[in-house]
Amino acid sequence: MAVSCLVYELGSIDYTSALYLQNALLSARQAGTIRDTILLLQHSNVITIGASGTEEHIVVPHRVLEEENIPIIHVDRGGSITYHGPGQLIGYFIMNLRTIGMSLRQFLFNLEEVVISTLDDYSIKAHRDPNYRGVWVGNDKICAVGLRLDHGCTKHGFALNVSTDLRYFEYIVPCSIRDKGVTSMSSLLGNRIKPEEISVCLLDHCADIFDLSYQYGTEEPFHGNCEYVPA
């Protein structure tokens, strides 16, 4: 039987507010007071550094980031350093792996498969790299994937470059990989696509690949003392 899941499309949210929201939802999911939840959103410009990352992979002076109001945030997801910003579709997954009967490795594989299938619908042939997580087109990463597992439940997820301004990736060594590049759907297709345009396609692949049934949340995703402010 398909697992029932709630989906919230939140528009643009600053990274810190979204992280507070994830943490609140994670606690609620662990307590069994909410269903599995997917958040789809975009972030304002930010550089995040995961468990295996370091600020040594920022290649511009910090004053450049300060002048452009790009914060650096260390987070508890797996992976290294990446950039988030407008035009990037972010998917955060607050899901109980015990409920869906899946290992973390399989969950990561399935996340990549969702993105690969979505891109295929747009005639973009993407693939996995045997040495690195994420989704790739040729030698360029189009989607970063990073998760944290906490008492059987996941948080964080993927970041798919839809119409992202790729020049910001030049400020870092993306994912600490020096010999590969980054790309986006819009740059590959030659026309600008908005992240919200591909949400339904992506969710349908989530439903199929993860064996989920989903419905959209009609209220704020959390009513506790976690406040989030749309950017």
Q: Indicate the SS3 state at residue 223.
A: coil
Alpha-carbon gap, residue 229 to 209, rounded angstroms: 32
The closest alpha carbon to 185, from 133, 116, 231, 128, belongs to 116
Active site residue 153: no
The closest alpha carbon to 6, from 30, 29, 27, belongs to 29
Which one is catalytic: 5, 143, 153, 175? 175
Check: CB of residue 94 under 8 Å from CB of residue 22: yes
The closest alpha carbon to 171, from 53, 43, 58, belongs to 58
DSSP 60: S
Largest CA distance in the chain: 53
Alpha-carbon gap, residue 66 to 70, rounded angstroms: 6
Check: CB of residue 195 under 8 Å from CB of residue 163: yes
Q: Catalytic residues, which ones?
A: 175
